[in-house]
């Protein structure tokens, strides 16, 4: 057993130009957790900014991989190996264009769903069996160029909704750690406000 029980890795891209974009919701969630637990994301390990917190009595490593999105797996794998964590101890947080903006979806395992950062994590860990929190970014209208959309600045209306969304996301991560994935799914998997369909 290593020093940490969990690694919470939020996916995103480093640099101020990417900070407030849909693709950085994973980064922003980890930053919210760090703020909540007075953790400093200041150490650089395995190509990631890392900090540590005690959440629900468990020692947790918080990480923002600095490899750029499509190479996120290198950093996540490096941290998992360094701290002797199994894939089940890696909680991945990332944006998902297949879910409506404002929705949360916890899963115990699953495919990448076309998300390049998650694809790299799966490739590097050699398994799809790790818990993840997906944050919906579908704006509710057709997106012509998804690559361009996820790297474009958040709209003003989305920025206004960002604070409660990140609060909910941090709560969901806490729930996974405190109660396990199954109970966290029951408590936090929900539709976005104003939507009628259930996300898959």
Active-site residue, 23 included: yes
Catalytic residue among 23, 115, 141, 188: 23
Report residue 70 as tokens: 């499509």
Q: Where are the beta strands (DSSP E) in the chain?
A: 6-10, 43-45, 48-55, 58-65, 90-100, 104-107, 132-138
In Å, what is the CA distance from 153 to each residue of 18, 23, 93, 127, 131? 8, 10, 19, 32, 28
d(CA 182, CA 6): 16
Are 7 and 90 a contacting pair, CB within 8 Å?
yes
Are 97 and 103 a contacting pair, CB within 8 Å?
no
Contacts of residue 163, Cβ cutoff 8 Å, sequence gap at least 6: none
Active-site positions read 23
């Amino acid at each position: 057993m290593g020093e940490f029980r969990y690694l919470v890795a939020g996916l995103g891209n480093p640099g101020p130009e990417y900070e407030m974009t849909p693709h950085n919701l994973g980064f922003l969630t980890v930053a919210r957790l760090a703020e909540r637990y007075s953790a400093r994301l200041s150490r650089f390990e395995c190509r990631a900014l890392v900090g540590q917190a005690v959440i629900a009595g468990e020692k947790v490593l918080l990480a923002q991989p600095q490899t750029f999105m499509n190479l996120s797996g290198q950093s996540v794998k490096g941290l998992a190996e360094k701290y002797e964590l199994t894939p089940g101890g890696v909680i991945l947080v990332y944006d998902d264009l297949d879910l409506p903006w404002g929705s949360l979806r916890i899963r115990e395992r699953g495919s990448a769903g076309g998300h390049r950062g998650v694809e790299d994590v799966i490739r590097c860990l050699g398994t799809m069996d790790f818990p993840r929190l997906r944050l919906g970014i579908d704006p509710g209208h057709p997106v012509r160029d998804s690559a361009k959309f996820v790297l474009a600045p958040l709209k003003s209306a989305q920025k206004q909704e960002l604070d409660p969304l990140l609060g909910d996301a941090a709560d969901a991560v806490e729930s996974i750690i405190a109660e396990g994935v199954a109970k966290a799914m029951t408590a936090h998997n929900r539709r976005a406000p104003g939507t009628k369909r259930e996300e898959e």
